[in-house]
């Protein structure tokens, strides 16, 4: 039975044959081992692509630049809403949820961690919020 990895490598195989001639090197940023093994079966030379992709990501079009211009305002508004909710007895989780809600409401992206802590929990650094 074909797997998702098989379907993906079939597409990669087709594209490599169409566009790459005899150069079967493929730069990959990150890939699960099942994907790497499936690519190995095709005879691809998988190379690290993180630096190449970071360079490509550093080039921004007008749409990306406009989004970046909006970010500070959206973040400031989200933080202001969080300040307004900062009342005695509120938990870190409740306060962080306010910020996260306001961020999403304004079209913000995923937030990687819940870094929000008060008082003695501020040190050592990197405590995620709690009750």
**Pick the residue with more confidence: 22 or 119?**
22
- Tell me what pLDDT residue 70 has: 82
18-28 pLDDT, tens digit per residue, is 999 888 899 99
3-state secondary structure 47-79: EECHHHHHHHHCCCCHHHHHHHHHHHHHHHHHH
Looking at every residue in the chain, the average pLDDT score rounds to 87
54-79 pLDDT, tens digit per residue, is 999 899 999 999 888 888 888 888 88
Phi-psi region of 127 (alpha: psi -120 to 50; beta: other; left: phi over 0): beta
Q: Does the pTM of the predicted model rise above 0.85?
A: no
Domain residue extents for the chain: 4-57, 62-122
State mean pLDDT over 76-89. 90
Going by pLDDT thresholds of 50, 70 and 90, the confidence category of residue 50 is very high
């Amino acid at each position: 039975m074909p797997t998702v990895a098989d379907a993906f490598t079939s597409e990669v195989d087709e594209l490599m044959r169409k566009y790459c001639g005899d150069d079967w090197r493929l730069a990959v940023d990150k890939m699960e081992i099942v994907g790497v093994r499936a690519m190995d079966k095709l005879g691809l030379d998988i190379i690290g692509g993180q630096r190449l992709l970071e360079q490509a990501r550093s080039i921004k079009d007008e749409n990306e630049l406009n989004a970046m211009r909006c970010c500070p305002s959206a973040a400031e508004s989200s933080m202001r809403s969080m300040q307004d909710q900062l009342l005695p007895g509120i938990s870190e989780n409740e306060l962080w949820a306010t910020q996260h809600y306001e961020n999403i409401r304004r079209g913000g992206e995923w937030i990687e961690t819940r870094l929000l802590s008060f008082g003695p929990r501020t040190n050592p650094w990197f405590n995620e919020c709690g009750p």
